[in-house]
Structures are given as C-alpha cells and as structure tokens.
Structure 1
Amino acid sequence: MEVTLEAVKKVVTDVLKIDGNNITPETRFIEDLKADSMDQFFLIDGFSEAFHVTISDEDAKKIKTVGDVITILSK
C-alpha cells in the first residue's frame, strides 16, 4: 500500500474520532489534534496495522506530525 496523506488521515480520523478536513502534513498530533499518550499509542498501532509494518520505538518517538508518519512509513 502506498503511504499517502489520505491513507494516514483515515487512520488519524478513525483513531481520534475527529473530522480530518483540516489535517495537513504539518498537522501536529499533540499541539493541533490534542492527542495524549494513549492516543499516540493507538495511532502507532493503527498505522502499523493499516500499512502492515512494524514501527520501532525509536521511529515512534520521532513522530510529531502527520508528515513524519508519511516519511517514516515511506522508508
């Protein structure tokens, strides 16, 4: 599966139960979407499941924005 903004937005909106219309690559999970530590855990899990990948703890710590997810998953 190709990692696109739309695919990442789908995971974000499903996990956080929010409207994704304003999500851009620059959208920050904590500051903009008010994701707490549990939300972040479920987001990482959601990305792993949706894209059939394992995200290392090291990579997970680097994820601050939607664009970071796309970059890390595109490796």
Structure 2
Amino acid sequence: YAASAGLSKEAIQTRVVDVLKSFEKVSPEKLTTTARFAEDLGLDSLDAVEVVMAIEEVCAHSLEFSIEIPDEEADAILTVQQAIEYIAKTP
C-alpha cells in the first residue's frame, strides 16, 4: 500500500503548495499545479534541494508517513504536479 494511503491527492497538493508558499522567492500568484520549479517559480538547484527536504519533512510531521526522495528521482521532478504524483505513488 502507498505511504500516502488514506490521503487524497488534494490533501497532498495542499501540503506541497504550503511548502512552496513558505519560500520567499515563490510568488503565490504563479503557484499552480502546472508550475515548473525553475522556469515558473524561479527556484534554482539549491532551492530545489531545499524544497525536496521541506516536502520530506512535512510528510513526516503532518502527513504521518516517511518519504525519502532520492537525488536522481528528485532531479526528475520539475513541476508541482510531478511532486504531488510522486508522493501519491510512493510506497
């Protein structure tokens, strides 16, 4: 069963969006599920690492499951939607 069992994609989306809103660089009006981290939200590679770490932390604390996103997989997550999908399918 998935680590996110019992959570809807909407709940996961809310947590991911909240994480991104906490970054000063991110303009809330640009924050959509189709937003690309670099091109649309202006996040650089260091920011992307911080986003992944923040998502892992929020999953552990507020979603009550542990997730670790390997670097090579994190590098392939380029949009908000891809992050949501990754978390939703993670066992």
Instruction: Give the TM interval when normalised to the shorter protein.
Output: 0.7 to 0.9
- Which runs of at least 4 in structure 1 moved beyond 2 Å after TM superposition? 1-4, 18-22
Q: Distance in 2 between matches of 1:20 and 1:56?
A: 27
Q: Deviations over 1:34-57 (max 9, x none)?
A: 101110110010011011211111
Quick one: which of 47, 50, 71 aligns to 2:85? 71
CA RMSD in angstroms, aligned pairs only = 1.6
Question: Does the CA-based 8 Å contact 1:9-1:23 persist in structure 2?
Answer: yes
Q: Distance in 1 between matches of 2:41 and 2:30?
A: 10
Q: Deviations over 1:4-44 (max 9, x none)?
A: 22211100111x22343442210000000110111011001
Q: Which residue of 2 aligns with 1:35?
A: 43
Give the TM-score normalised by the residue count of structure 1: 0.85
Q: What runs of 5+ residues in structure 2 fail to find an aligned partner?
A: 61-66
Question: Does the CA-based 8 Å contact 1:5-1:24 persist in structure 2?
Answer: no
Larger Rg, first or second structure (1 or 2): 2
Identity of matched residues, %: 28
